[in-house]
Structure 1
Amino acid sequence: MTMNIPVPPVIQRLCAVTVCMFLILCGLPACKKEKTDQIPDNRATTVNRAPSATRIVNMGGYLDVVANGQKLTSYVYKSPNDPDALKYTGTPYFPEDGRLGSTWMIPQDLFGKNGVALMKFDADRANGSLPELAIKDDYSHPKDYYLPLGQQVAEGQPDYVIVERGMAQPSRPDHFKIRILNLCAQPKESIFSPRGPVEDLRGPVTLAYADGTLVSEKTTGISVAQKVSEYVELPYGAYQFKVLTADGRQIPGAAALSDENRLIDPPTSTIGLVSSGAIVSGNLTFAPVFSYQPGGIYTIVISPYNFSYLASAEEQRSGAIQNGFRIITDVSPSPNTTYFRLQGFNALPGSEAVSFRVNGNMLMNKLPYGQVSSYSNYIQGPTRIEALNAGGTVLAAAEEQLRPGQNYTAWLYPDATGKAKIVLVANDLSGQLYASGTVNNGSNSGTTFKQVREDYMFDRRFLNLSPDMPYLTCTFSNGLSAGRAAVNLQPGVPVTEQPYIRGSSLYFLPYEIMAYRSAPDVVPGAWAKDITVLTSDRFVARRELYEAVGRGVPTQEPGIFTIALIGRTDNLAPAAEKAKMIIVKHNR
C-alpha cells in the first residue's frame, strides 16, 4: 500500500534553492574566463629598445660586435668541420642567432650622454677586424655606416663610409625613391681561373632598367669620389635594375636567393656554367627582380663581394672577389593597401587605334593593334575599364573589384562572333611559389609544402585571344610539352591555377615555342604552320646591350612574360591581322 505524504511548502522551497545552488556551483568552471596572459609569447626578445637614427650596413661579413667594451654577440670562430659551426646562441641585442646581420639599427641605450658609442666589429679569420670606431648619433641627420670588405681583400678600401640616409617620403604616395652608392675597389689578390682573370669593374657607374635604358641623369656616371647619387622617384612596381660601367658592361648582383646566381665567369662577370664538358659563359649577368613598394626608399650599393667561380669542368668551385651590387632598404614601406597597377593591350583585329579609359580617366590614347600600353597606378575598389574607338564609342567594358598590390592587364579581343570584349588578367610578379618535399621521420613521414621566393624568374604564361582557334596548345621545340598551363587554351579564358611555366635560371639552351590546333582529347594536335614559331631570343629586349661591349647575346632574358595568340587564321584576313604570337613583359 502506497501512501502520499504531503511535503510542507517550506521544505519544497528549501529543496528548490539547494538544487539551484548545486547547479550554479557545477556550472562555474564552464563560465570561467580565459586568461589571455597565459598565451605564449614567441618573440625572440620582449625588451623594447628604442632605435637611434644611426644604422650599420654590413657589407664585409662582420659577425661580432663589441660596444663600449661590452660584447653584444655570441660569435666565436669555429672550424668549418665542426657539426655545430653554424649554430649560435641568441643575445639580448641579437636575439635571432647572436651575430651581426646585413643591417642593424643601433639602439639608443648604447650611446652615451655625448651621443657617441665606441664600437668594434670582427669578422672571421679571413676578413679580420676593424679598429674601434667612434660612432655618433644625430637624430636630425640620420646616418648609415657602411662597412665594406676590409683592406685585407680590397685595395684602398676605407674601413667605413658614412652616408646620410634619406627619410623624406616620395612626393607622390604611389612612388618610391632610389639612389646608387659607388664603393667600387680593386681586389687585392688575382685569381687564375680556366676562363681567365677577373675583369676590372671599377670606375663610374650608372643605374639602368632591365633593357639597358638609363633611369635618370641623376643616377648616371656616379664616380667613387662622388660616392652617392641623389634619390630619384619612380612609380612603384617590379623592376630588374642593372648597374652599368662607363663602357656599358653589367656589374653582377651580389645578394642572390639562389647559389647558382652567385657563380660568375671571372672575365665577363656573367653567370658561369658547364656545357658539354666545358666551362662557358651563359651571357647573362645576374640582377634580381625586386618589388619596390609605394613609399619605400632604397639604395643600390656597389662594392667588392665574395663570389664563386668554376675552377674545373667537374664543377669544383673556388672563390673570387669582384665588385657587385646589393639593394638596401633605407625606409621600409608600409603594406600596400591602396594601389594596383594596370595596363591595356589592343588585340582587336581591324580596329583603328583604340583608347583605354579607367573610371572615366584615360589610361592610354590611340593604342595601335598588337601593342601594349604602359602601366598606370589606381586606387583599389570597384573599377570600370572601357575600350573606345577613334570616335569615342565604347567598344567593350569590364567592371571588377580590383585589389591593392596587384598587377593587371586588360586584353581587348574579339569573341567568336567578332564582338569586342575585355578580359582582365592578374599577373603574378611576386616570385613566390610553393615547393614540395618529403619528410621521413617515423610517424611524421609525408609530403610538406613551403613557400619560397625567386628573384631571377623565367616565367611564361600563355593566352589564347584568337576567335578562330577553339583550342590552342603551345609546346617547345618539336612538340615538347610546355606543361599543363599551355594545353587546350580557349579564347579569352586565362589559366588561373598554376598559370606560369617556370624555367630555371640556368636555362641557357635555345628553344622554340610552337602553336598547335588541339582538342580536349587530342594534345598537342596539329601543328599550326601558318603561325610563326617564336624563338627564345625574342625574349631579349635589346641585343645592343650585349653587342656594344663585345659580349655574346643570351638565348633569352629573365622576367615575367605573357605569350598571347592574337589575330585571325582566316585565309581572307589581311596580312596585318594574320594570327601571331606576341610577347608582353610585365616587369621593367
Structure 2
Amino acid sequence: MAACILLLSSCLKEKKDMDDFRPDVSIRSQSSIRLFNFYIASPLNVMVNNVPLTSFGSQGGTPIGLSLFPKGAWSTSENGSPFVIPMSLLDKNGRARVQLKTAFKDLLDTVLEHSYSKPIDFYVTSDGALRILPRQNTPPASPDHFRLRIIHLGQANDPFGLGRPMTLTYADGSLVHNALTGIAAGTNSEYIEIPYGAYQFKLFSGGGTSPDFEKQLAEYPMVPLYDGCAPGVIQPQQGISPKLRTFKPGGVYCIIVTDAYQGYWDCSRFNPVSFRLNSYRVVTEYDPGVNYSYARMHAVNALPGKSIHVKVDGTELGSELPYVGSQFTGKPILADYRIFVQGEHHVEASDDKGRVLAAATIKLYPYDNHTIWVHEKPDGTTGLLFAANDMTGSIYMDEYLPNPDNSRPGPDDGTNGLGRLATIPYVSQSRFLNLSPDLPYATFMGDHNMLPNHQPETSIYGATVNLASGLLPEKNPYILYLGVKFASFSATNFFYPVVPGARLVPDQIRVYRSSLSPVGVPGELLPQVVPLQVRRAYTANPRMYLENTAPIMENGVYSVALVGRTYRAGTQQEKARIIIIKHNN
C-alpha cells in the first residue's frame, strides 16, 4: 500500500490546497484587467506600475504580490494561472504599466487600461506576445447550464497538422454544436449553452462538421504523439484521453488553443528533440461559485423483458425505457440525465399500462449524480435502487500529506481531511452491481483474476466480491485504473493499475456465482453469461481509432451491472448478461 501511496503522490495525484494565511487581495476591489500565462519556457516576474509582484529571484516580495503569486513567480498552469490586477495598483487614469521578465530577458512592457464596461482578457503566449480578447461575464440564460466557446490562438501551420480549423466533440466523437466547428486560427467562436455536468470534450483539427479523428489535440500538459524512431512519419493523433471535468451551473468557460515547444527524445533516448505544436487548455472565464441548487439523475430499466416509464414528481424522466439488456450491443450505453433542484423528490416506476410497479422518495443534494436502477428483486417484486455516482475521481489515502507542494507524509491532527484526499485526473472507474434476481451473490473477475480496487481499506475487494442481488456494496464501490499523464505512442501502455506490479486491465470481465462461505469466492463460473469484452465495452466509438491507436479503455465513470435472470429466464431476452453504462459525455 505504501507503494500505492507513493505512486499516487508522485505524479498522478492533484492535491488539495491547505489553509493559507497570506493577505487575500481577492477581497479588494479588482479591475477589469485579467491576464493569463501561456508562456511555458520559464516562470515570469511581474511588475505593475513599478510595484514588483514577484520576488525577481530574491526571497522577498510585497504582501500584495505574495497574495497573487505565493511562490514568488508567475508560472503557467493548466488553466493559464490567471490573475486580476487590483484597483489599488492602477494609476489615477485607470491604467497599469505591466512589465514581464524572465530570469534572462525582458519579455513584455505595455500599458493596459481598465474599463468595467468592456472587460478584457490578456493572454501571454508562448512566444512572449500579448493577445487581447474581450470577455463576457454574463452567466447563461438557463441557470442550470454553462457557457462555452473556443479561442484559437494556435499556429495555422502546425508541423503535425494540428493547425487547421478546430472542431469540438463529445467523448464519442459526436459534434457538440455547429457554432463550435471550423474555428480557424486567430479567431474565436460564439458562446453556446450546455447543461451542467461532467464532460470529456475532445478537440480535433480539421474536418469541420465531420471531424478528422486522426488529428486530435492534446490537452496541456499532455503532449501530441511522436515516435522518435520514425521521425519522418507524422503519427495519427488518436487515443489521447482528456480529463473528465465538471462544468458548474452558471459558469462561463473557454477552450483555448495555444502553441508551445514540446520536448521529445530520439530513438536512442539520449538526444532531445522539440517541435512547436498546438495543444489546448480549459479556462474558467467566470466562476459562479458553489452550486447550491442543482443535481442530476437518470434511470435505467433492468426489469427483464419489460418496457417501463419512470416519473419524478409526476413528470416523466425521458421517454419509455426499454429493457437495458435488449439495448446493450457491446459498447457503453450513455446515461441520459435530467437536472433537478436539490431537495426531496418522489420517484415512480410504472409499466406500459400505467400500473405503478415501485415508488420511493430520494433527497438530492447539490452536485448529486444518481442512477435510478429499476430492477426485479429476489421476491419477484420491483425495486428502485438509487446509486450515487462519484464524478470526481477522488480517493482517500492511508497517509496524510499536510503540504500540497510535496509528497511527504506527516502527522494528522484531525482538523483538515484534505491532506488525505487524492484526485486522479485521468482515471477510469467502474461500479459493479448484481441486479439478477435469482443470483444471491455475484463476484466479478477479470480474466479469472480478482479485480483489485486499490482503495486504502481493509475490504479491498468489496466492490466486486459477493455482491448481493439488488444491493449496493457498503465499502469501496469503485474499481480505479489510472491513465498515464503523458500520451504514449503504444496504446497498450496507456492504462496502468494504481499498484505497481498489479495486473493490467483485463481483456474480459466474467461473473461467478459466489457465496459467503470461507471457500465461496470466486465460486462457480457462470458459462451462460457472456463475458464483457473490456476494450469494446469501454470504447464509446471504435470508429474514432485506428487498430493500433485505440486505448485499452477510455477514461471516465462507468457502471457495470449483471441484469436479467441467471436461471429462471423464460425467453432469450430475459437471460442474464453484463451491461455497461457510461455516466459522462
Same fold (TM over 0.5): yes
Aligned match for 1:516, one of 512, 524, 529: 512
Corresponding residue SS for 1:218: helix
Matched with 2:391 is 429
- 2:556 and 2:174 map into 1 onto residues whose CA distance is 16
Matched with 1:335 is 290
- 2:238 and 2:552 map into 1 onto residues whose CA distance is 8
- 1:382 and 1:223 map into 2 onto residues whose CA distance is 47
Conserved? CA contact 2:217–2:237, under 8 Å: no
- 2:527 and 2:130 map into 1 onto residues whose CA distance is 62
The 1:443/1:50 distance shift into structure 2, 3 A limit, reads closer
Conserved? CA contact 2:241–2:555, under 8 Å: no
Matched with 2:488 is none
The 1:323/1:367 distance shift into structure 2, 3 A limit, reads same
Matched with 1:97 is 71
Corresponding residue SS for 2:545: helix
Within-5 A mapping of 1:360-399: 360-370=314-324, 374-399=336-361
- 1:360 and 1:438 map into 2 onto residues whose CA distance is 47
Aligned match for 2:126, one of 130, 140, 149: 149
- 1:213 and 1:442 map into 2 onto residues whose CA distance is 44
Conserved? CA contact 1:568–1:578, under 8 Å: yes
What letter is aligned with 1:112?
Answer: D
Report the CA distance between 1:305 and its aligned residue: 3.6
Confirm whether residue 567 of structure 1 aligns to residue 555 of structure 2. no
Q: Deviations over 1:470-519 (max 9, x none)?
A: 11000111334444110000111112422111012142666211111111
Report the CA distance between 1:382 and its aligned residue: 1.2
The 1:238/1:91 distance shift into structure 2, 3 A limit, reads same
Corresponding residue SS for 1:207: strand
Q: Deviations over 1:281-333 (max 9, x none)?
A: 99521311111011111111011245454556879987654211111111112
The 1:42/1:289 distance shift into structure 2, 3 A limit, reads closer
Matched with 1:20 is none
The 1:66/1:187 distance shift into structure 2, 3 A limit, reads farther
Matched with 1:219 is 180
The 1:475/1:446 distance shift into structure 2, 3 A limit, reads farther
- 2:424 and 2:410 map into 1 onto residues whose CA distance is 32
- 2:263 and 2:549 map into 1 onto residues whose CA distance is 21
Q: Report the count of equivalent residues.
A: 500
Confirm whether residue 405 of structure 1 aligns to residue 367 of structure 2. yes
Q: Deviations over 1:92-151 (max 9, x none)?
A: 2233122225111111122223332111112354xx543311212111011100111016
Matched with 1:7 is none
Report the CA distance between 1:91 and its aligned residue: 4.2
- 1:406 and 1:445 map into 2 onto residues whose CA distance is 29
The 1:172/1:43 distance shift into structure 2, 3 A limit, reads same
The 1:423/1:323 distance shift into structure 2, 3 A limit, reads same
Report the CA distance between 1:265 and its aligned residue: 2.7
Conserved? CA contact 2:349–2:359, under 8 Å: yes
Aligned match for 2:206, one of 235, 246, 249: 246
Corresponding residue SS for 2:573: helix
- 2:145 and 2:290 map into 1 onto residues whose CA distance is 13
The 1:219/1:443 distance shift into structure 2, 3 A limit, reads closer
The 1:389/1:141 distance shift into structure 2, 3 A limit, reads same
- 1:576 and 1:408 map into 2 onto residues whose CA distance is 27
Higher mean C-alpha displacement, 53-62 vs 565-574: 565-574
- 1:138 and 1:264 map into 2 onto residues whose CA distance is 39
The 1:530/1:429 distance shift into structure 2, 3 A limit, reads same
Report the CA distance between 1:199 and its aligned residue: 1.9
- 1:178 and 1:431 map into 2 onto residues whose CA distance is 23
- 1:441 and 1:46 map into 2 onto residues whose CA distance is 27
Within-5 A mapping of 1:30-45: 43-45=21-23
Report the CA distance between 1:74 and its aligned residue: 0.4
RMSD: 3.0
- 1:524 and 1:239 map into 2 onto residues whose CA distance is 36
Confirm whether residue 67 of structure 1 aligns to residue 41 of structure 2. no
Conserved? CA contact 1:311–1:318, under 8 Å: yes
Matched with 1:8 is none
The 1:230/1:88 distance shift into structure 2, 3 A limit, reads farther
Normalized against structure 2, the TM-score is what? 0.79
Corresponding residue SS for 2:544: helix
Matched with 2:541 is 542
Conserved? CA contact 2:161–2:205, under 8 Å: no
Matched with 1:500 is 478
Matched with 2:148 is 178
Unaligned runs of 5+ in 1: 1-40, 78-86, 152-158, 189-197, 256-261, 269-279
Corresponding residue SS for 1:365: coil
Matched with 2:330 is none
Report the CA distance between 1:90 and its aligned residue: 6.3
Aligned match for 2:28, one of 35, 38, 49: 49
Conserved? CA contact 2:156–2:164, under 8 Å: no
Conserved? CA contact 2:98–2:109, under 8 Å: yes
Corresponding residue SS for 1:576: helix
What letter is aligned with 1:340?
Answer: A
Confirm whether residue 207 of structure 1 aligns to residue 168 of structure 2. yes
Higher mean C-alpha displacement, 364-373 vs 296-305: 364-373
The 1:218/1:572 distance shift into structure 2, 3 A limit, reads closer
The 1:583/1:45 distance shift into structure 2, 3 A limit, reads same
Report the CA distance between 1:453 and its aligned residue: 1.3
Matched with 1:23 is none
Confirm whether residue 292 of structure 1 aligns to residue 273 of structure 2. no
The 1:481/1:139 distance shift into structure 2, 3 A limit, reads closer
- 1:293 and 1:315 map into 2 onto residues whose CA distance is 45
Within-5 A mapping of 1:296-315: 296-305=251-260, 307-311=262-266
- 1:563 and 1:546 map into 2 onto residues whose CA distance is 23
Unaligned runs of 5+ in 2: 1-18, 76-80, 229-234, 328-332, 402-406, 454-460, 484-493, 497-503
What letter is aligned with 2:309?
Answer: S
Report the CA distance between 1:368 and its aligned residue: 0.7
The 1:441/1:167 distance shift into structure 2, 3 A limit, reads closer
Report the CA distance between 1:60 and its aligned residue: 0.9
- 2:355 and 2:531 map into 1 onto residues whose CA distance is 36
- 1:479 and 1:442 map into 2 onto residues whose CA distance is 32
Structure having greater relative contact order (Cα 8 Å, sep ≥ 6):
2
